[in-house]
Amino acid sequence: MDPEALKKSSALHPKPAGLTLQYGTAGFRTRADQLDHVMFRMGLLAVLRSKAVVATIGVMVTASHNPEEDNGVKLVDPLGEMLHPSWEEYATQLVNAEEQELQKIITEICQNAAVNQHKDASVFIGRDTRPSSEKLSQAVIDGISVLGGQYHDYGLVTTPQLHYMVCCQNTQGQYGKATLEGYYKKLSKAFTELIKQSSSSGENQRHLKIDCANGIGALKLSEMEAYLPKEVLIRLYNDGTKEKLNHLCGADFVKVHQKPPGGLDMKPNERCCSFDGDADRIVYYYTDATGHFHLIDGDKIATLISIFLKELLAKMGQTLQMAVVQTAYANGSSTRYLEEKLKVPVHCVKTGVKHLHHKAQEFDVGVYFEANGHGTVLFSKAAETKIRQLAKEEKDDEKREAAKVLENMIDLINQTVGDAVSDMLVIEAILALKGLTVQQWDAIYTDLPNRLLKVQANRRVIATTDAERRAVTPPGLQEEIDALVKKYKLARAFVRPSGTEDVVRIYAEADTQENADALAHEVSLAVFHRAGGRGAPPQP
C-alpha cells in the first residue's frame, strides 16, 4: 500500500464534516450527494475483503426502493451472500474515519482480519439506473485501484445479477457463467424445460403485466425477452423512459399502500406484478370484477412455492427436510396455513434478509420470503446432489420425472439472494404447471387484515426480543401493547426500530381492517409517548 497515493486519492473524495453512517442490512444508504467518500472507501474495503478471503467480492451501487435522489452501496461476499457481520463493523469504521486516520484504520483492519497484503484482489462492480450511480461507481473504482485491486465493471445490472456473477466466479463456473448472457441462458433454459410439461390450454394464462418501478428491471427484462419461449407474453410498464424511479410505483409502494401502481392500466382479473428499484423484490396483485384490489405478497409467494416443492418431494419419495422461514411481519394466516394444513415447519427470525438466509441454510430445502416480496429457496449441497442423481438414474418413471422438475427448479432459482426476475419465472412456471389462475392462488388462504405504520420517535430506546415480536425497552411499552391487543379478535401487534431510517415501525393485524387500523393507531400513540415522539402525535 502506497500511503502517499492513498492520501492523494482520498483527498479527491473528501468526507463531509460531521457525517456518520452505519452499515446495516441495506449497506450504506443516504442522499446521493453525501456518498462520494463512502463509495471510494468501500472500494478500499472490497480490496481488503477480497485479500482476506482470497476470492472475488462484489460492490453494488444502489438504494433499492428508496427515492431517486438517494443512493447506497452494499458488498457481496464470495458465494453471493451478504457481507459477513464482522466486516459490517469495519465498513462503518472506515467510512466514518477522518481523513488523517484512514491509513491507521486500514492497517488495523488488516491486523484484526488477518489480511495478507500480498494476495491479489478481485472485485466485481454493478450499479442501478439512478442518475448518480455512474459517478459513484467511478469512486468505487478509484478506491479499488489505489490499493492495486483488479476489477470488472458490469455497468447496469440488477442487484441479484451481481450476486449471481460473484457466486459463478468463485465456484469456478459450477454455479453458472459469470456473464449476463450466462444468467439469461441458465434461467430461460430451466424455465423452458419446466413449462414444456404444462398443458397448452392455458394460453391466456400466460399474460403478465409487470411494473418495473422505473428501474433496472425494465432494461434487463427487455434483454432477457429474446431468450424466453414465445408463449410467455409479458408487458413492461414504468420502464424508466418517462417517470422517476420508485415514484408512485414499484413493489414497496404497492405493498405499503395496498393499491396498484401508477402508470399501469389494470383490467379485472389480470395478473400483474411489481419489481422494486433494483429488482430484488416482487409482489403480485389483481383487481376482481367488483374493482377490489388483491395483493399477493411474499407470504403467499412462499406458500405457493412450498406447496409445489412439497408435492414434488413426496412424489420423489425422499425424506428431505423442508422448512419455511418468516419474520414477525408474516401474516398470521400464512403461518397457520403452512403449519396446520401443509404440515411444513415454520421458523420466525429477526427482520433482515441475512437472518432469513442464515436460518434457511439449516435445511435440505429452505424457503424464505419477507412479506415485502424479497426471498428465495436454498437447497443444501446434499439435497441438490441427491435430486440431480435421481433425475439421471431413477428407474421409477414418476420419481424420476419429479426429480427432473426439481432439478430445473434448482437451476431457475437464484439461490444467492431474492431475485425478482428469477422469482417471477418460478411463480409463472408453478401457475402454468398446476393450472392455477391468480384468483385460485390468492384463495389458498385469506390474509388477516393488517396495517403498517411509521412513528417519528427515538428508535434507539426500543430494544426487542423473541425475533422482534416483543419490546424489552422502554419499560411498560410491551405491557401496554399486550393490553391493547387483548381488545381485538385474532389480533397481534409488535414494534421495532427501523434498520434503514430514523423511525419506529408498527405492525398490527386483527379480524377486520377497521380493528387492525385502530390497533395500529393505539400502538403508535403508545410508542410516541414512551419513546420520545417527535412533532405532532400520530393521527388516526
280 carries a ligand binding annotation = yes
Decide if 64 is catalytic: yes
Active-site residue (options: 64, 132, 137, 422):
64
- pLDDT (0 to 100) of residue 510: 96
252 carries a ligand binding annotation = no
Given 3.40.50.720, 3.40.120.10, 3.30.70.1140, 3.40.640.10, which CATH number is that of 3-156? 3.40.120.10
Stated pTM of the model: 0.93
Peptide bond into 131 cis (omega under 30): no
Set of cell numbers at residue 211: 411494473
Nearest to 158 by CA among 215, 225, 98, 92: 215
Can you give the residue ranges of every domain in the chain? 3-156, 182-295, 298-421+439-443, 450-531
Look at the block and give the residue holding cell 417519528: 456
CATH code at 182-295: 3.40.120
- Could you tell me which residues come within 8 angstroms of residue 94 by beta carbon, excluding any fewer than 6 positions away? 41, 44, 45, 102, 105, 106, 109
Check residue 24 and report its DSSP letter.
B
CATH code at 298-421+439-443: 3.40.120.10
400 carries a ligand binding annotation = no
Residuewise pLDDT in 10s, the chain (540 residues): 788 999 999 999 999 988 999 998 889 999 999 999 999 999 999 999 999 999 999 999 999 988 899 999 999 999 999 999 999 999 999 999 999 999 999 999 999 999 998 999 999 999 999 999 999 999 999 999 999 999 999 999 999 999 999 999 999 999 999 999 999 999 999 999 999 877 654 554 578 999 999 999 999 999 999 999 888 889 999 999 999 999 999 999 999 888 999 999 899 999 999 999 999 999 999 999 999 999 999 999 999 999 999 999 999 987 899 999 999 999 999 999 999 999 999 999 999 888 999 999 999 999 999 999 999 999 999 999 999 999 999 999 999 999 999 999 999 999 999 999 999 999 999 999 999 999 999 999 999 999 989 999 999 999 999 999 999 999 999 999 999 999 999 999 999 998 777 899 999 999 999 999 999 999 999 999 999 999 989 988
The C-alpha atoms of residue 13 and residue 36 are separated, in whole angstroms, by 6
CATH code at 450-531: 3.30.310.50
Given this chain, do its domains 3-156 and 298-421+439-443 carry the same CATH topology?
yes
CA distances to 81, 178, 491, 499, 535 from 175, rounded to whole Å, are 14, 9, 44, 31, 51
137 carries a ligand binding annotation = no
- Could you tell me which residues come within 8 angstroms of residue 103 by beta carbon, excluding any fewer than 6 positions away? 3, 6, 7
